[in-house]
A and B are shown apart, each in its own frame.
Chain A
């Protein structure tokens, strides 16, 4: 039985930034994480983080307003414009702060933070540290937590959010090291549990980004938003799906088809070429592949960096080169990189306002697990690292400032919830399963890859919804975790993760099927146009064991009226 005034679940960038804020405001805060903080997926981010610093000689007149417009346009006008303003206005302060905290950004000649062009941005405003920006940011924030002596519960796996009277009371977690199920009572809970990429099979995401962190609050009645908007990144390496950052194209890399042609010119203006936003670029690549212009007619095209030269590649993209050599045996200095689009990012998530608040009192969310929403139907590269630090901080601040400690009561409630979880897990171990849960999960991922991918269409998506429902039944009825010892039972962990993945897969597929238009990453061959009259609205899903209940809510429009999105 443990109590802290504020409990943060997740130690990626969003969770750490929230913890620093709450701690600096003098609150009793603790962070729970299933992997050591430095193993969080944030560390894998490569390309950079956006802020209108105007350091780049080609971008001296950049402003937060211009950043906001690019973001709204990139979102295909589904982002909430008030939230976008908050993000782009606070961006420079958050970046300077990180710099003051030691984050080793790359530098321009004048000693300022270096900025590179990124897709969908009219200005070169993506601040970077070579191609390891997420790693540098994550380490800097973790170091600040060490400095503040912030309390971490590492390798504790949260399985339940405790809610009573529509108010968060704490969480229940599995201590991986001992196998004990523990209650963490608190008066405020912040979820910063990251993305849901592993719902798909072909994804850039880490093994730990499963979607469970979105499912846990969903199961308690917290609304989740815009889940059907899944970003497919144009450039994942074949076979392994590891990301080749957009920075590759920001630095001047080409996309080439079977004929060695820079095919982007057939789709977007000559000025934009490879730096079109991700949804568009991914569709272009997929179209080339579908029409037989993949390399040797295969399911991939080339990302070519050779003309950048050894010096530039070594200076700006050293990590990319290492990945290619380690995982493909290809040296991008000498050979083009075989790539295709892969699932990369979940625009949707736990429905929050720009203070991180949700439909449940004292329950907050931030980072990729949340949907504020600033990305709308398509996120711009470099905006999600930004989101983690802007809205992580705001969630921490808001939770701290609105804290009403109720230690005894919440401890009682959390302890009761813990007992139920102990029973649940004991029940799982009682009757052995006849199916392999990993097989079931793999099938779910294949359905998502094949039927709820880049191009979507009614019949296939209907099948997807039915197939996932069937797989969900089989998972619950026929599969069980192994009853091994208590210490580091990873099979139990993965088994519980899958439950989240499957339930969120249902929401993605159902939301996509319902949305009869094409917008941003959601591209339907049977409804090829954006339909602002009927569909300029957010999808909101609430849990129901039979099927998620879907409603809609309006987009916040302040300055920018929707126009056709041309690049």
Chain B
């Protein structure tokens, strides 16, 4: 059995614009989209460019648009797509560098804007900061983010507002705010509680649907709104 991989190709050195190219890939049970791409690279067309590393849905390299949805190519079983045609495009509204490789700089720059590192208020103890299971529970899931940018690619607001922090950076902000060890809650809220942050989100829920780690960025943004509302009310930010 064969499947057709229809891939959006773009080579800046020779193409005026992106175009689709079809490849026939032999199918066997368990085939993932990433394995299909490797088959093409290794046997059919060595000019194909795509990123990958772990092939186990943990490194975040391979988010792309596959049959109408943003997904990790390595985690996507061809059989689950219920189709003989697999259409693969790069993440949207990020500049295509070549084929499925996009420029993630704007995405990572947003991440850096929220000061993504623990900033404890208290002096470091000789051993660990203790944290109850309940406190640790508050950052559960949020810490699972692999920065794959699927949410960012799926977000229509990010596509029209390049300055918008985007779902991932906001998840990261909440991750530190919710961490009992962090002491910069108000400062962090001030970074996100504006028109380039949580107020720009139109709660379209795309990010919630696509996140391969079930993180629910929309909900994170709503939580941040609640917290910033309280802070504004009490004059803290």
Contact = CB atoms under 8 A, between A and B. Distances in A.
B187 interface: no
B237 interface: no
Contact of B59 (A39, A101, A239): A39
A215 B174 CA distance: 43
B128 interface: yes
Given A36-B104, A111-B132, A177-B97, A490 B56 contact: no
Given A100-B128, A143-B118, A436-B42, 17 more contacts: A40-B59, A41-B59, A43-B58, A95-B128, A96-B128, A104-B143, A107-B132, A132-B144, A135-B58, A135-B146, A146-B112, A146-B117, A147-B115, A206-B59, A327-B75, A489-B47, A490-B50
Interface residues of A, number: 61
A104 B117 CA distance: 12
B13 A38 contact: no
A487 B60 contact: no
Interface stretch (A364-372, A478-486, A535-543): A478-486
Interface string A114-129: 0000000000000001
Contact of B11 (A38, A105, A482, A487): A487
Contacts, number: 159
A59 interface: no
Contact of A485 (B13, B101, B131): B13
Interface in B19-73: 30, 32, 41-43, 46-61
23 contacts: A35-B59, A39-B51, A40-B59, A43-B58, A53-B127, A100-B118, A100-B128, A107-B130, A107-B132, A107-B133, A107-B136, A112-B130, A139-B143, A146-B117, A147-B115, A206-B53, A207-B53, A240-B55, A243-B56, A326-B77, A481-B46, A484-B11, A485-B14
Contacts of B118: 100-102, 140, 143
Contact of A44 (B51, B58, B144, B176): B58
B89 interface: no
A111 B130 contact: yes
A487 B97 contact: yes
Contact of B47 (A104, A143, A239, A484): A484
- 9 nearest CB pairs, A to B: A102-B118, A111-B130, A482-B46, A485-B13, A438-B42, A491-B46, A484-B47, A143-B117, A488-B49
A484 B144 CA distance: 37
Contacts of A36: 61, 104, 108
B98 A491 contact: no
Contacts of A109: 133
B47 A491 contact: yes
A236 to B, nearest CB: 11
B115 to A, nearest CB: 8
B234 to A, nearest CB: 27
A104 B42 CA distance: 39
A109 B133 CA distance: 6
Contacts of B126: 96
A105 to B, nearest CB: 8
A487 to B, nearest CB: 5
Contacts of A40: 53, 59
A450 B148 CA distance: 36
Chain B interface helix/strand/loop/mixed: loop
A326 B51 CA distance: 20
Contacts of A258: none
Contacts of A102: 117-118, 176, 179, 181-182
A110 interface: yes
Contacts of B32: 327
B13 A113 contact: no
A494 to B, nearest CB: 8
A485 B144 contact: no
A250 B189 CA distance: 40
A113 to B, nearest CB: 5
A136 B143 contact: yes
Interface in A299-337: 319, 322-323, 326-327
B58 A487 contact: no
A486 B11 CA distance: 10
A156 B61 CA distance: 16
Interface string B90-130: 00000001110100100010001001111010001011111
